[in-house]
């Protein structure tokens, strides 16, 4: 890659050049990370040998601290290695849709939106809301945001499914307990070199005036764009860009990603059918319960991971849940292959 970057005609194709530079940066970071782990392990080995030779307890104690630090970093590197899917390192789109239940479910959907935006903020990822359908009284009926960050899809794909909330309703004058549901769907942004065929004849493009609770979600012109892929019924919409042209471009990127994800799911379903396996579909499954009454706990129903601090989880403390799921999934795949 360095040789390609040094070539005189490298910048003749600006888009291609930017992709190569981005890939080079990614590879450099990965290689340098493993090199540092190897060097640090060698340094610790020498330190241990030195401490043993001179029977120096202070040196041994120092080596123990370095080993603990190295072990933690190796675990992080192991998890990073688990994110080896074809699109795991890509940016992605996240859609949240309120379930049945009116205002209760719509408020829950907005709570999930805040949770994921806080998680992304802690990870240093950039987010932008592209579609926002406000709730009738509070919350949101549906919202989609783009997420730009390293391994964004690799991490957030762990959140696909149905999320359940149990609490005393703030909208119920009798203070009764309510159960609300909202669905989360995540799909990766697809590189231009991935072939996704879309015929103009299969598209219905509608324009409308974006609306919402105010601020960035309101527009005074019909610049928002909704694209429907007629054969599949898939819909992609964007209302946050400054012009109709930009909204259409973003919506098309989302539609390409949805169509590609649908094709992968259909292929996986055929493989399972041939193999005689029946696997639960993640989109329609309840993956996690958030209980705020009569007790306080968040439990992931796939991994069994629990937290007694739902406030922290709803404030974006999701790493424990995500890592446990992704590590478990990858190991299960490896056991099946062996």
What is the structure's pLDDT at 291?
96
The reply to whether 153 and 51 lie within a common domain is no
210 with 330, same domain? yes
SS3 116: helix
Domain stop point among 48, 82, 116:
82
The CA distance from 240 to 93, in Å, is 14
66, 116: one domain: no
Phi, psi values for residue 90, rounded to 5°: -80, 160
Whole-prediction pTM value?
Answer: 0.73
Which are the contacts of 92, defined by CB distance < 8 A and separation ≥ 6? 146, 147, 152, 153, 156, 157, 186, 187, 188, 189, 257
Number of domains in the chain: 2
For position 192, what pLDDT does the model report? 63
CB atoms within 10 A of CB 275: 9
Contacts within 8 Å (CB) and 24+ apart, 240-243: 240/128, 240/129, 240/130, 240/131, 240/132, 240/210, 240/216, 241/130
Q: What is the H or E stretch that residue 11 is in?
A: none
The tokens for 148 are 């730009």
Is residue 87 assigned to a domain? no
173, 44: one domain = no
- Cis bond before residue 133 (omega within 30° of 0): no
Q: Which residues contact 11 (CB under 8 A, 6 or more apart)?
A: 17
For β-strands 140-148 and 92-98, DSSP reports them as antiparallel
DSSP letter, residue 211: -
pLDDT tens per residue across all 338 residues of the chain: 888 899 999 999 888 888 888 888 878 888 888 899 999 999 998 888 887 777 777 888 888 899 999 998 888 787 777 787 888 988 999 999 999 878 999 999 999 999 999 999 999 999 999 999 999 899 999 999 999 988 899 999 999 999 999 999 888 878 889 999 999 999 888 876 667 878 899 999 999 876 544 444 444 457 899 999 999 999 999 998 878 899 999 999 889 888 888 887 776 665 444 333 333 333 446 899 999 999 999 999 999 999 999 999 999 999 999 999 988 866 555 555 55
Note whether residue 263 is domain-resident: yes
Last residue in a domain, options 82, 115, 138? 82
Q: What is the pLDDT of residue 176?
A: 87
Q: Are strands 140-148 and 177-188 parallel, antiparallel or unpaired?
A: unpaired
Distance CA 336, CA 338 (A): 5
Q: Which domain holds residue 48?
A: 2-82
The CATH number that applies at residue 27 is 1.20.58.410
- Same domain assignment for residues 117 and 231: yes
Give the residue from 37, 52, 82 where a domain finishes. Answer: 82
Judge if 13 and 155 occupy the same domain: no
Do 217 and 114 lie in one domain? The reply is yes
297 and 263 in one domain?
A: yes
CATH number for 236: 3.30.70.1660
Residues 83, 151: contact at Cβ < 8 Å?
A: yes
The answer on 102 and 188 residing in a single domain is yes
């Amino acid at each position: 890659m360095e040789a390609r970057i040094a070539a005189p005609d490298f910048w003749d194709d600006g888009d291609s050049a930017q992709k190569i530079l981005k890939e080079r940066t990614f590879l450099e970071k990965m290689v340098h990370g493993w090199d540092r782990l190897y060097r640090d392990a060698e340094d610790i080995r020498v330190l241990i040998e030195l401490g043993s030779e001179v029977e120096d307890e202070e040196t041994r104690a120092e080596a123990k601290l370095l080993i603990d630090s190295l072990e933690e970093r190796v675990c992080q590197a192991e998890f990073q290695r688990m994110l080896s899917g074809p699109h795991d390192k890509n940016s992605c789109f996240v859609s949240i849709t309120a379930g049945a239940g009116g205002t209760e479910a719509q408020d829950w959907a907005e709570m999930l939106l805040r949770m994921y935006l806080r998680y992304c903020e802690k990870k240093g990822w950039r987010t932008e809301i592209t579609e926002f359908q406000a709730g009738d009284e509070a919350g949101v009926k549906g919202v989609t945001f783009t997420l730009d960050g390293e391994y964004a899809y690799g991490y957030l794909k762990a959140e696909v499914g149905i999320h359940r909330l149990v609490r005393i309703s703030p909208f119920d004058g009798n203070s009764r307990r309510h159960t609300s549901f909202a669905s989360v769907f995540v799909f990766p942004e697809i590189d231009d070199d991935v072939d996704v065929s879309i015929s103009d004849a299969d598209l219905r493009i509608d324009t409308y005036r974006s609306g919402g609770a105010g601020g960035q979600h309101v527009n005074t012109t019909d610049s928002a764009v909704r694209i429907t892929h007629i054969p599949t019924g898939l819909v992609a919409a964007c209302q946050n860009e400054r012009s109709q042209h930009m909204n259409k471009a973003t919506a098309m990127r989302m539609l390409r990603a949805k169509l590609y994800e649908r094709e992968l799911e259909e292929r996986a379903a055929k493989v399972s059918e041939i193999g005689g396996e029946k696997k639960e579909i993640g989109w329609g499954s309840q993956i996690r319960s958030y209980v705020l009454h009569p007790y306080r706990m968040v439990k992931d129903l796939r991994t069994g991971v629990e937290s007694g601090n739902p406030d922290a989880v709803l404030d974006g403390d999701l790493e424990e849940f995500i890592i446990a799921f992704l590590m478990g999934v990858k190991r299960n795949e490896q056991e099946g292959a062996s």
